[in-house]
Amino acid sequence: MNDTRSEIIRLGSELIRSVGYNSFSYADISKALNIKNAAIHYYFPSKSDLGVEIIKRNLNAFNELTKTWEGLDYKLQFSNYIHMHDSFIGNHWLCIVGSLSPSYDTLPENMQKELKGLVNTILKWLTALLDNGLKTNIFSFTETPRTKAFIVHSALLSSLQMNKVLKNDVYKSIQEGLLNI
Amino acid sequence: MNDTRSEIIRLGSELIRSVGYNSFSYADISKALNIKNAAIHYYFPSKSDLGVEIIKRNLNAFNELTKTWEGLDYKLQFSNYIHMHDSFIGNHWLCIVGSLSPSYDTLPENMQKELKGLVNTILKWLTALLDNGLKTNIFSFTETPRTKAFIVHSALLSSLQMNKVLKNDVYKSIQEGLLNI
DNA sequence: GAATATACTTACTACTAAGTAAATTTGATT
DNA sequence: AATCAAATTTACTTAGTAGTAAGTATATTC
């Protein structure tokens, strides 16, 4: 795969995580990569094409990653999930879902669809894991697995957002709280 | 208080909740109110002045509301808090914190400061409530009150964001899950 | 009744954004 | 060396966006 193209995607991802989809421009990318904005339009005719590609890659990465966890015990899989975004804290980055969801109504339709698919994939995987763990008495909680998945996912996603604002131990605290399952 | 001014604030609040601070313009407000954009600049010279005013009003409203709950038993206060944003679901609105936090790095400094103050106020109140409830055996949870406050706040805030994307029962589910304390 | 403040409008500026058409360069193939 | 397609720049358009300077009608104060 072309170097410029993947650099655009890499930078685009970072920008979505740090300032959000609506707050970065092709100029931000072109300046950083020392190319012209038209060069980005060559690879991604419209900004939403880039947005869709970035979401797709995240979905792919999630599927690949969880596949490598297959067979691990549920506690470890859960812990892996909870620690998935640890590398983002220092830069105060968000996960893609936490970055794009709040501005969902302003996103182009193809990105909305892709984002919805990503969220559903994550929740489906997490619900199944919690269900398995509950049935085998590895986990212990009173909510339904689906509700528990909603809560865990939401709390984790939002802890990255709060980390941006408070810049304190909110992320680590929530992690520890959630792991106590 | 002036009618135009409060209409600007009302509409600004709605727009922040629905599309976010960076995605609405003075044109959106001026068109809706049948005034010129300069009229908005008359009341709020810069957009951040409007943003700050809206956050301040939310802080004020939170303080006023929780003050009216003083004396109520902890379970009821907690339930009131959890149901605070029920009226937003139909329109897929976010709470102010959930709307502004993800784009924190793009906000003008005065808004960042104000937002941080609001988050701290909410977390302080919630932590105190959870602490009181735990000490009197009204609530039962294993985390520290501070961590539990982080989790509850984050899960609730993010459930409104997920409601935008999924448009299903995620908000109600999380509410029920959280109330089981 | 003259002066002044309030609440705007008109008409603009400076700037930024996404996007495009056409020309040019680069690099591999024949 | 000539050719051709892919990659990229040049130079531009269109459409916003925040913000401002100057003017005006209406009410309020002196």
The three-state DSSP-derived secondary structure of chain B is: CCHHHHHHHHHHHHHHHHCCHHHCCHHHHHHHHCCCHHHHHHHCCCHHHHHHHHHHHHHHHHHHHHHHHCCCCHHHHHHHHHCCCHHHCCCCCCCHHHHHHHHHHHCCHHHHHHHHHHHHHHHHHHHHHHHHHHHCCCCCCCCCHHHHHHHHHHHHHHHHHHHHHHCCCHHHHHHHHHHCC
Rg of chain B (C-alpha set): 18
Question: Around B142, how many Cα atoms within 13 Å sit in the side-chain half-sphere?
Answer: 9
Which strand C bases fall within 7 angstroms of a protein CB?
7-11, 16-22
Rounded to whole angstroms, how far apart are CA atoms B126 and B148? 9
Q: Would you state the pLDDT for residue B1?
A: 59
CB-based contact, A121 to chain B, within 8 Å: no
Chains A, B: CB contacts within 8 A come to 157
Rounded to whole angstroms, how far apart are CA atoms A66 and B29? 46
Please state, as a whole number, how many other Cβ atoms lie within 10 Å of the Cβ of residue A2.
Answer: 8
What are the CB-based long-range contacts (under 8 Å, 24+) for B39-43? B39/B4, B40/B8, B43/B2, B43/B4, B43/B5, B43/B8
Which residues of B are less than 8 Å from A82 in CB distance?
Answer: none
Residues 47-76 of chain A with CB under 8 A from chain B are: none
In tens, the pLDDT along B14-55 reads: 999 999 999 999 999 999 999 999 999 999 999 999 999 999
- Say which nucleotide is closest to residue B40, CA to C1' distance: C8
Distance A4 CA to D6 C1' (A): 13
Tell me whether residues B154 and A159 touch, CB distance under 8 A.
yes
Rounded to whole angstroms, how far apart are CA atoms A15 and A93? 9
Distance A106 CA to D6 C1' (A): 34
Q: For D21, which residue's CA is nearest its C1'?
A: B38
- Spatial contact of A151 and A158, defined as CB atoms under 8 Å apart: no
- Spatial contact of A29 and A46, defined as CB atoms under 8 Å apart: no
Domains of chain A listed by start with CATH number: 51-179 (1.10.357.10)
Q: Would you state the pLDDT for residue A1?
A: 57
Using alpha carbons only, give the angle B160, B148, B88 rounded to the nearest 5 degrees: 15
CB-based contact, B117 to chain A, within 8 Å: no
Residues 136-165 of chain A with CB under 8 A from chain B are: 142-144, 146-148, 150-151, 153-159, 161-162, 164-165
In tens, the pLDDT along B139-171 reads: 999 999 999 999 999 999 999 999 999 999 999
Please state, as a whole number, how many other Cβ atoms lie within 10 Å of the Cβ of residue B76.
Answer: 11
Tell me whether residues A155 and B159 touch, CB distance under 8 A.
no
Q: Which of A162, A168, A181 to mutate to test the interface with B (most CBs of B within 10 A)?
A: A162
The residue type found at A108 is P
Tell me whether residues B154 and A154 touch, CB distance under 8 A.
yes
Q: Minimal Cα distance from B152: which residue of A? A: A155
Please state, as a whole number, how many other Cβ atoms lie within 10 Å of the Cβ of residue A31.
Answer: 12
Distance A2 CA to C28 C1' (A): 15
In tens, the pLDDT along A57-66 reads: 999 999 999 9
Closest Cα partner for A84 from A71, A104, A73, A68? A68
Rounded to whole angstroms, how far apart are CA atoms B143 and B153? 14
- Say which nucleotide is closest to residue A45, CA to C1' distance: C19
- Residue-level pLDDT, tens digit, chain A, 181 residues: 578 999 999 999 999 999 999 999 999 999 999 999 999 999 999 999 999 999 999 999 999 999 999 999 999 999 999 999 999 999 999 999 999 999 999 999 999 999 999 999 999 999 999 999 999 999 999 999 999 999 999 999 999 999 999 999 999 999 999 999 8
Q: Is the CB of A1 under 7 A from strand D?
A: no
